[in-house]
Amino acid sequence: MENQSEQPVQPAPALTEEKVLQYREKLKLEQNLPMGIAGGAAAAVVGAVVWALVTVSTGYQIGWMAVGVGFLVGYSVRFLGKGLDNIFAIAGGALALVGCLLGNFFSLVGFAAKSEGVDVFGILGSIDYSLVPSIMMESFSPMDLLFYGIAAYEGYKFSIRQITEEEVIQNSK
């Protein structure tokens, strides 16, 4: 027979509503909306550029790029903003939508640069920006609404920090 020393098993600390609220208040002090918005905006631009590169190089607008933009923006807002409040979700959803619009805009710029044989920055410098909304409307498809909606939802959903029971228990000792 083995000689085992039995140690009493420590019961897991009880998860109470008070502990959850205390931990939540502690985390709220770490929230940083400006950083979350800045990170989400940067992610929207990066996602839009990738979207345009894929669209121009393949010659096809791939709607699922919007899903990637939504995820990237939402995750960036959550990671950098550390937000628990609904304003982070709203910012993530709005920035994801902006990222989709930018992706379509950058794609149009990329196609124009390709057809004119000039670089993208040359096109960006010569655009009459008052015409951009009408040009965007010409390339718009009703299917875009579906993907924009998914992207906005993902940006909204992934922007808020999730707290697990284990995290609360671990940090309430």
Please write the tens of the pLDDT for every residue from 63-111. 889 999 999 999 999 999 999 999 999 999 999 999 999 999 999 999 9
The reply to whether 13 falls in a domain is no
Residue 46 lies in a domain: yes
| Beta carbons of 114 and 56 less than 8 angstroms apart | yes
Please report whether residue 9 resides in a domain.
Answer: no
1-6: average pLDDT: 55
In a domain, 10, yes or no: no
What total number of domains does the chain contain?
1
Average pLDDT, the chain: 88
pLDDT tens digit sequence for 9-33: 555 556 788 888 888 888 889 999 9
Is residue 15 a part of any domain in this protein?
A: no
Say what angle helices 142-158 and 86-116 make with each other, to 10 degrees. 140
Q: Is residue 69 part of a domain?
A: yes
Q: Which two tokens stand for residue 159?
A: 């922007």
Q: How many helices (H) and strands (E) does the chain have?
A: 8, 0
pTM > 0.85: no
| pLDDT at res. 159 | 96
Residue 1 lies in a domain: no
- Per-residue model confidence (pLDDT) at position 151: 95
Domain span holding position 129: 30-170
Give the tens place of pLDDT for each residue, 130-143. 888 888 888 888 88
